Every structure is written in C-alpha cells, then in structure tokens.
Copies of this chain bind each other. A is one copy, B any other.
Amino acid sequence: MPLKVDHDERRREIARVVEDIVLDRGIEAVTIRDVAGRVGFSTTVVSHYFRTKLEMLVFTHQEARRRAEAAVRDAVRDGASLMACAELLLPLTDERWRDWHTWFAFWGMTPAEPSIDTERRTGSESAATLFEEVIAALRAAGRLDPAIAPAEAAIDLQLIINGIASLVAQDRPAWPADRQKAELRRQLSRAGLGDR
C-alpha cells in the first residue's frame, strides 16, 4: 500500500468489489476475506476501512446511489432533459445494472437491522429530493409543464424508474436498452413529464 492512502477512494474501491461479488454470487457470499482477496488487500487492511460486513454493504449501497445521483446532477447542469436524466438511472449499461442489482439485494435484506433500514429510507428520500429538484429546475426553465407539482411528479418518476428496473431484474434479456428507453418515453409522456 502506498503511504498516503485516500481513505474514501479505498472504500469506494472496496465497494465496487462488493458489488461484483453480490452480482456474481449473492450477498451471502460477501465476506471480508473474499473482498480482501479480490481487491488485493489483506483482511486487516479491509477491516481498517470497514469494521463489519454490514458496514461494508451499507456503504456499497450508498456508493451506488451517490454515483447515480451525481450523474443526474451533472446532466441537469449540462442542460439535459428529464428523459435524458431518467435514462441515466435505468439499468441500460452493465455498470448501472450492477447498481440496480445491489439495490434489489439490499431491499431484500432483513428490515430488522437498523443501519440497513436507515440507509434504505435515506436512499428513497434522497431519490425523491433529487427528482423534486430536477423537476423544479426543468419546470423553471420552461422545459416541463408549469402546472406540474414537483413532489407528486417525483413519486411518478420513482415509480416509473423503479418499475422498469424491476422488470429488467426479472428478465434482463427481454429488456434491452432500446426497449427500456421506449417504455420510459411512453411512461413519462403519459405522466405529463415528456420533453417540451
């Protein structure tokens, strides 16, 4: 290990490996030892970054949504439409599919664990807040119907995106990127959220 380690970067590196293991072999296959082996650190080093497997899983979930949220914020800043922003969140690419798989796995973890429960709730609230901001910004810019209520439209957007992702999760070959995008366009348009 280099002398100067960027703590956060190391944690993110570990989180990416955790996502790979969850996708390849399921959450139950995630062990500190296995993660250490794949990332090329000793278990002692990994334990320095995450005290428990649970802490590692919670951070992995956080990281996946932070990446997705950052992509949307960047796109809005660059003048993207709502359709383009929403596309960034769909499992159109292998990378985003890995994120979605992590989220579903996490939603299926026991609600009895407070840190999981809190992170799940935070994730949903954070997505709703992001969507409200995006919709309000696009509405203010005259790119969405001014009559749209951001809070309600944010829920529509969550339902549409999570709904499409749920169909992909069950049958990925049936939902190639083009079909996902066409479905997104149809749903946004019906929700009055189509590009103007």
Contacts and interface: CB of A to CB of B under 8 A. Distances in A.
Grouping DSSP codes into helix (H, G, I), strand (E, B) and loop, the A interface class, with mixed when no group exceeds half, is helix
A167 B108 contact: no
Contact of A170 (B22, B112, B123): B123
Nearest to A30: B28
Contacts of A174: 121, 124
> Which size bracket describes the interface of A in this complex?
35 or more
A79 interface: no
A22 B110 CA distance: 7
Contacts of A108: 22, 26-27, 101-108
Given A104-B104, A169-B120, A110 B163 contact: no
B162 A158 contact: no
A166 interface: yes
Contact of A28 (B27, B121, B155, B190): B27
A87 interface: no
Contact of A26 (B104, B110, B159, B163): B110
A1 to B, nearest CB: 30
B120 A171 contact: yes
Nearest to A110: B26
A63 interface: no
A148 interface: no
A187 B152 CA distance: 11
A78 interface: no
8 contacts: A22-B110, A24-B112, A104-B108, A120-B171, A123-B170, A155-B183, A159-B159, A162-B162
Interface of A: 22-29, 101-112, 120-121, 123-125, 155, 158-160, 162-164, 166-167, 169-172, 174, 183, 187, 190-191
